[in-house]
Structure 1
């Protein structure tokens, strides 16, 4: 079994059982304890599992992975997603761009566009797009979250609610097996809901590592969005919700 296949199988076992021991994984995959320990360290680095002495469990649902770590993972997948999204946005469009490393990748992919009007609560997005003199960048007010450049709070919510824009580029921290969109911060969830409510077309941008990932705050069903851009086929339960609600799926 290839390493990537073994990684996927380990994650599925952890999701199913809640906890697996190193000894159990050694027996299951017929590899050395050193190989399994390397596997678990790699998966823990991606926040797909939580490493414990002697085994692994589901990752914490209360604390997100640091922004710099998220920025450095799934970079090729995020770039493909971003390029596909950018190809669907016409020059002169108006759009929200959300907090998150995949929405930030979309911002980079839009630099060849012209005359865009962008509302964002993401300081990194504003810094990326400010080089475009023909873009109009509107930065939301509120509390700056220094760890990732996100702007959140009541003022942010009120600000975003003033607009009605063509596209909403939405990121998410996790997607449960029933299609629930999950986040770590209640304030961020409220802002995302405002983006959904005030966008004519909501584009969810998410790489495959977010499927099955836990977070403690439920934003609502994936049926709230119009389009899902991802790099791999979602799990069966999520696909069922997508199909039943006529959500457009784009594999990148």
Structure 2
């Protein structure tokens, strides 16, 4: 297979899985590891991938991946995270759902919940929950970010200050090894920081690709989060910190599996 045919497929695998490894790609395409390394180097030079030890990841930096690409990234994992998180939310609760494709997965799993009040700054979440007739939906005001139908900024934060939620479901663009939750838009971070102070319990939903990315704006630390829902075990140093902080970690798709308690 020539490089021109191989490289688009490599990009699709990276979008689906968050990361590609040299050994796995060499086996998939039945070529040498040296050939795959050249492919990854060319893709990295073109800005389409970012080289890491043993493979490559989707590029990160100061701008986020396009929203439709993020929707396709790790879809099965996000669905599993959504199911696990929704199962931890009881009926008769007030819930805030944040911007993000994983929080949208949570919303899809709340369709059978009864007597919910859901406040959201995610217009996609509001649209998903419209068919749940037993759910009151409140859309937080703010400036509409057309790229993902999110409402952001100080007006959104001021709306949130009028509530005390039973549960806040947060996403993030990246999760640093020291436990910092990171994002790209400071206007969105203002909303997340307000939520940390206006919720009885805070859940973070983040698939494993967030462990491999970086973003410039700090939202907060998962030491301030009650529970993390993810699809793969956290890196060992971060998992150990979560034990010390008392942050529970549930690995979705692994029944009964908690990385820390």
- TM-score between both structures, scaled by the size of structure 1: 0.81
Q: SS at the partner of 2:33? A: coil
1:192 CA displacement:
0.5
Is contact 1:222-1:241 (8 Å) kept?
Answer: no
Matches within 5 A, 1:141-220: 141-220=141-220
Q: SS at the partner of 1:211? A: helix
For 2:224 and 2:127, locate their aligned partners in 1 and report how far apart those are by CA, in whole Å: 29
For 1:96 and 1:163, locate their aligned partners in 2 and report how far apart those are by CA, in whole Å: 10
Q: Which residue pairs with 2:63 in the alignment?
A: 63
- TM-score between both structures, scaled by the size of structure 2: 0.79
Matches within 5 A, 1:96-175: 96-175=96-175
1:249 CA displacement:
0.7
Structure 2: 5+ residue stretches without partners: 1-12, 23-30, 253-261
Is contact 1:40-1:56 (8 Å) kept?
Answer: no
Question: Once the two structures are superposed, what CA deviation does each residue of 1:169-218 show, in whole Å capped at 9, x if it has no partner?
Answer: 11000011111111001111110011111111101000000013100001
Is contact 1:177-1:212 (8 Å) kept?
Answer: no
Q: Which residue pairs with 2:86 in the alignment?
A: 86
For 1:65 and 1:145, locate their aligned partners in 2 and report how far apart those are by CA, in whole Å: 15
For 2:101 and 2:38, locate their aligned partners in 1 and report how far apart those are by CA, in whole Å: 29
Provide closer, same or farther for how the CA distance between residues 86 and 30 of structure 1 changes in structure 2, counting only shifts above 3 A. Answer: same
Q: Which residue pairs with 1:37 in the alignment?
A: 39
Provide closer, same or farther for how the CA distance between residues 36 and 110 of structure 1 changes in structure 2, counting only shifts above 3 A. Answer: farther
1:237 CA displacement:
2.4
Question: Once the two structures are superposed, what CA deviation does each residue of 1:26-74 show, in whole Å capped at 9, x if it has no partner?
Answer: xxx95242575169759x99x8x437xxx97983421000000000110
1:112 CA displacement:
1.4
Q: SS at the partner of 2:163? A: coil
Is contact 2:60-2:213 (8 Å) kept?
Answer: no
1:109 CA displacement:
0.7
94-103 or 55-64, larger mean C-alpha shift: 55-64
Q: Which residue pairs with 2:234 in the alignment?
A: 234
Provide closer, same or farther for how the CA distance between residues 36 and 94 of structure 1 changes in structure 2, counting only shifts above 3 A. Answer: farther
For 2:82 and 2:38, locate their aligned partners in 1 and report how far apart those are by CA, in whole Å: 33
Q: SS at the partner of 1:131? A: coil
Cα RMSD of the aligned pairs, angstroms, is 2.8
Provide closer, same or farther for how the CA distance between residues 9 and 72 of structure 1 changes in structure 2, counting only shifts above 3 A. Answer: closer
